[in-house]
Amino acid sequence: MSIKYKAHHLCFIIIMLIILSERACQSAFPPLNLISTQLPLPTSTVAIRWKNLIEWADLGTGKGPVYSQAWSADGKWLVTSDYDKVRVWDGATFREVGVLEGHTSFIWGVAWSPASGQTLLASASQDGSVRIWDVGTSAQIASLETGWAFSITWSPDGEYLAVGTYSGQVQVWDASAQELLHTWKSPTRVPIISLGWSPDGNTIASGELQGDINMWDTASGEILQRLTGYTQERRDVNGVAWSPDGKILASAHQDGKVRLWDTGTFGLIRTIRAHSGWARGVVFSPNGHLLASTGEDKRICLWDVATGQEYAEQHHNYLPVWSASWSPDGLYVTSGAGRYEQPHTGATIVWQVP
């Protein structure tokens, strides 16, 4: 047997071994798209990570700043803030189908009533009012004189509305009677810039401009726990969100970090270095597995709640990103951007979650 023949024979054996090895790997590890349809998303131990979210719809620039946004519970509508207006979008076609007008200054918060069968939306504004709208008819139902309202959240049954104000108050209103029931004052008297009502209705979390988080007992109005002193950096609480099961509270901070808190022990579970520059907003996916965060670095990021690992991210053109919201089916996440206190300099993009 010649040396040349031996060399060819050896090459043939090596090639066959490679092919057999690849086939064995393919049988052991199906293609990525097959994995994504079989495994829960994400798993508690290993999150399958895609680099980028997929742009599904661009709702246009010049509308904002989008300090706040929210999907209706049935997915029929998406609402976004635009300076002194609330814009209503069709949740299927993403075409603008209405504009709610009445505010005279920046709108900082929007929130749908969770009451079944209702189409009520509340909006909180710098003009000193919170307004309640029937989105189905585009009619204003009520205007509550709250003072500069930064943040807003409904009780789980839709009967009450909590408002965080510039003067450091948490106000609790009877939504149907339009009556102020309680006024709770923060010990520091600094603006309440974020609010979240717990899924069981027993607690309201309020985030302050200087960084403390108060956990209010809704029955007594007393502070159950004050989360403070967890960092020496500037830590304004720009956003808070409860997980669907109520076991975790997420908070977004001026130091670019997102923090996860155990609502049973009030202990810090994890700190995520989420953004360069300020972290602005946080919101859990409907199943609670993922957390979306937005930031001054013009990014929206998705995080695996169980591990703290980044799941996906995307840049939002040239504007800082303020807000995010999930479609009820979890297939889409929407990011809203804009420049601080500059009317009509915003943009909203709908992303498909891989």
Helix and strand element counts for the chain (H, E): 2, 28
Enumerate domains of the chain plus CATH numbers: 50-352 (2.130.10.10)
Please report, in angstroms and rounded to a whole number, the separation of the first and last CA atoms in the chain: 56
CA atoms within 13 A on the CB side of 251: 34
Average pLDDT of the chain, as a whole number: 88
- The share of the chain scoring above pLDDT 70, in percent, equals 86
Query: What stretches of 178-328 adopt beta strand conformation (E)?
Result: 179-185, 192-197, 203-208, 213-217, 223-227, 237-242, 248-253, 257-262, 268-273, 279-284, 290-295, 299-304, 310-315, 321-326
- pLDDT tens profile 7-65: 444 444 444 444 444 333 333 323 222 222 222 333 333 344 456 899 999 999 889 99
pLDDT the model gives residue 20: 40
pLDDT the model gives residue 317: 73
More confident residue, 104 or 44: 104
The mean per-residue pLDDT over the stretch 310-326 comes to 93
DSSP 3-state of 24: helix
The mean per-residue pLDDT over the stretch 245-270 comes to 97
Residue 309 per-residue DSSP state = -
- pLDDT tens profile 182-200: 999 999 999 999 999 999 9
pLDDT the model gives residue 235: 83
Measured from the Cβ of residue 287, the count of other Cβ atoms closer than 10 Å reads 14
